[in-house]
Amino acid sequence: MTMIYLDNAATSLKRPPEVAQAVARAMTEFGGVGRGVHPASLAAGMAVYEARQATSELLGAPCATRVAFAPNATAALNTAICGLLKPGQRALTTAASHNSILRPLFRARDEKNCTVDVAPIEIDGSLDFAAYESMLEHAPALVAATHASNLTGDVYDVARMASLAHDAGALFVLDAAQTAGSLPVDMAQLGVDALCFTGHKGLLGPQGTGGLCVAEGVEIVPFLEGGSGVHTFDERHPLFMPDRLEAGTLNAHGVAGLAAGVAYLRKEGVTAIHERELALAHQMEEAVSRMDGVRLLGGHGGIDRSGIVALTVGNVDSALIADTLAREYGIATRAGAHCAPLMHKALGTAEQGAVRFSFSPFTTADEVSAAAHALAVIAENVREVHHG
C-alpha cells in the first residue's frame, strides 16, 4: 500500500531532491563554521552565510546578520521569549498558541514572577480582538503569538496585532512555524520584532533546523553561552549578531539542506505554493462538508488560512479515526491535541482531540480525493454504529 502523506504541518516528508543532495555534499565537504581558515571550514562558513542571506530575503529580515539559526522553532521561541522577558514583567499571548510559546511563558510566570495574559479564541477559530486590545491596556512588555494555528490553519492579522502591541509599548515575537514557506511572510511588513521559524515544515528543509530573524535594535539576551570561534578569552558570550544567539558548533549540514529548500521556494514562488495548498484545503473541506457527523474546525476565523483541514467524526476519539485512516487506507494524518491545549479548549475538543489533514507543495488533488473518500466511508460506518 502506497502511503498518502497528509501530515505536513508536523513535518514535510516529500522534499525537493536538492535538499538531500545538499546535505550529503555538506557531510563530506564541511568543517566547522568559524572554526578555522582551511578550505573545509571556509566552505561551511560561506554556505551558512548564503543560507542567512536567502532566508533573510525570503522572510523579510533586515539583513543576513540578523538571522540566527537554531535547531527548530521551539528553540528559537525559547531564545526570544526568555531573552526578552525580564523578571516581574507582563506577557500576552493568545489561546491559539502552541506549547512552544505557552510553556516558556508559564515557566517565566512560575520562575520569574511574570504575569501571563491569554487572549481568547472564539469557537470559529477567530481571535477575540476586543479582549486582546483590552489586555494590552495592562502594559505587557512582550507579546508572543502564532501567525497561524497549527490546529485549524487560521492565519491571524499579525500586522494589526503587532501594531497594537507596539502602541502599548510591547515587543512582538511571532511564531511562524506554520507559515514560513507556506504563505508569503515579510517580517518588515508585519512589523514584528522577532520572527521564529522551523526548517522541517513549509521551508522543506531537514529536521534539526530553524532559527529567528531579529529586528534592528532588538537585543535578545543569549539563551546559551559557550563556544563561538571568536573572543575566546572573554568570560561571557559575544553580544554581536548572529553569534550572540548561536553558541556551539552550528548544524551546517542541516543549514545547507535548509538553503536548498529556500532556493526551491524562491524558484517556485511562495504565493503560488500557498494558492496550491489553499486549493487542496478547499477541495477537502468541500468534500467533508457533505458528510453527516463530521465537524470542521476553524479554517475561516482569520484573514487567510494555511493548508490545514481539521475535523472530528461524531464523538469518536480522534486517534481511532487516524489509526483507521493509516491502517486501512495508508493515509497519514495527525490526531490528538497537537500541542495546542488552549485552542482545543476553545473549540470544545479537549477530550476528543481532532484529526488534522495538512498539505504540501507535493500533495496532489487525487490524494486529497482518496483521503476524502476514506473519511466518508469511516464517517458512514460511525453513523451506522451510532444509529444501529
Residue type, 344: H
The grid cell for 175 is: 511564531
**Interatomic CA distance for residues 136 and 119, integer angstroms:** 10
CATH 3.90.1150.10 is right for the domain spanning 4-13+269-387: yes
- Where, residue-wise, is CATH 3.40.640.10 in the chain? 17-268
The DSSP bridge pattern shows strands 308-313 and 90-94 to be unpaired
**Interatomic CA distance for residues 107 and 150, integer angstroms:** 22
Per-residue burial over 362-387, b if 16 or more Cβ lie within 10 Å, else e, is ebeeebbebbbebbbebbeebbeeee
| Paired strand residues for 309 | 357
Which H helix or E strand runs over 119? strand 115-119
**Interatomic CA distance for residues 258 and 245, integer angstroms:** 18
Q: What is the CATH number of domain 17-268?
A: 3.40.640.10
The grid cell for 100 is: 512552544
- Residue 36 has a pLDDT of 83
Counting every residue written for the chain, the total comes to 388
pLDDT tens-digit profile of 38-69?
Answer: 999 999 999 999 999 999 999 999 999 999 99
Dihedral-angle region of residue 57 (phi above 0 means left; psi in -120 to 50 means alpha; beta otherwise): alpha
**Interatomic CA distance for residues 200 and 258, integer angstroms:** 8
Task: Write out the chain's pLDDT in tens, 388 residues.
Answer: 799 999 999 999 999 999 999 999 999 999 999 888 899 999 999 999 999 999 999 999 999 999 999 999 999 999 999 999 999 999 999 999 999 999 999 999 999 999 999 999 999 999 999 999 999 999 999 999 999 999 999 999 999 999 999 999 999 999 999 999 999 999 999 999 999 999 999 999 999 999 999 999 999 999 888 887 778 788 788 888 999 999 999 999 999 999 999 999 999 999 999 999 999 999 999 999 999 999 999 999 999 999 999 999 999 999 999 999 999 999 999 999 999 999 999 999 999 999 999 999 999 999 999 999 999 999 999 887 766 5
- Residue 232 has a pLDDT of 79
**Interatomic CA distance for residues 22 and 24, integer angstroms:** 6
pTM over 0.75: yes
- Residue 383 has a pLDDT of 83
In sequence order, what are the residues at sequence separation of 6 or more whose Cβ sits closer than 8 angstroms to the Cβ of residue 168?
A: 136, 137, 139, 140
Report the half-sphere exposure of 379 (CA within 13 A, side-chain side): 21
Which H helix or E strand runs over 364? none
**Interatomic CA distance for residues 58 and 181, integer angstroms:** 8
- Residue 386 has a pLDDT of 64
| Paired strand residues for 195 | 174, 213
As annotated, the active-site residues are 339
Q: CA 194, 195, 200, 201 torsion: positive or negative? A: positive
- Where, residue-wise, is CATH 3.90.1150.10 in the chain? 4-13+269-387
User: DSSP assignment, residue 309?
Assistant: E
